[in-house]
Amino acid sequence: MMHIKNSSLSKRKRNALMKKSMRQTDSAQMIVLMGVVLAISVFMLSSIAAEIANLDVIVSTSEAITFPSEFSNLKDAFGSVLNYNLANVIIITDLGGGSTEFGDLTEDDLNETFLMGDITNLTKAFNQTRDEFHQIELRYGRIFDAQLNRYWYAYKGDGIYFVDVTLMLDNGDAKVTESMVYSIVCLSSI
């Protein structure tokens, strides 16, 4: 019977030793798991950093070719958009009198456009035009800015004004700045 008691003591000792070694094994597994998670995190962080660093390195050749033509298009369109933003009312009159027989005249020759507005709203119209162009160019990764320098009558009382502005376009690699003088129409009455 003594032998049975010793064997039960050994089972208790064995169970205690096994529980102690399992606790040590569990903590070792946690340390290994944390090491794996840390290694994966470092790998992910380095790959994200490498991707971010390469974002601005590649510039397509088509972008380099179209940048000057884009600025040229902006210069051409800015004055017209400014004029339309300044006008409160746009009146198109038909001078043909409804006749279908125009002779040598085209239908465009018989229509006249009057842009009605107030020149004192020029600053507001200019800011609106600049902001519209800025938003459009921002979609393509370019920065557009404009500055209103001054404006003056072309001929006193005829509703035609000269507007001097400075336009700037920047794509990160190149920057183009040019001063332009636009002729805009803003009639207070017909």
Model confidence pLDDT, tens digit, residues 141-176? 889 999 999 988 877 767 788 899 999 999 888 899
Same domain, 49 and 11: yes
> Domain for residue 70, yes or no?
yes
* pTM of full prediction above 0.85: no
Containing structural domain, residue 74: 61-185
Kindly state the percentage of the chain with pLDDT values over 70.
Answer: 66
CB 148 within 8 A of CB 165: yes
Same domain, 116 and 181: yes
Same domain, 154 and 77: yes
Dihedral, CA of residue 53, residue 56, residue 58 and residue 62, to nearest 10? 170
Give the tokens for residue 123.
Answer: 């600053």
Same domain, 118 and 72: yes
- How many domains does the chain contain in total? 2
Same domain, 47 and 119: no
> Domain for residue 142, yes or no?
yes
Q: What DSSP line would sit under 129-147, residue for residue?
A: HHHHHHHHHHTTT-EEEEE
pLDDT higher than 50, residue 102: no
pLDDT higher than 50, residue 101: no
Alpha-carbon radius of gyration of the chain: 38
CA 82 – CA 182 distance, rounded (Å): 9
Q: What is the per-residue pLDDT for 60?
A: 53
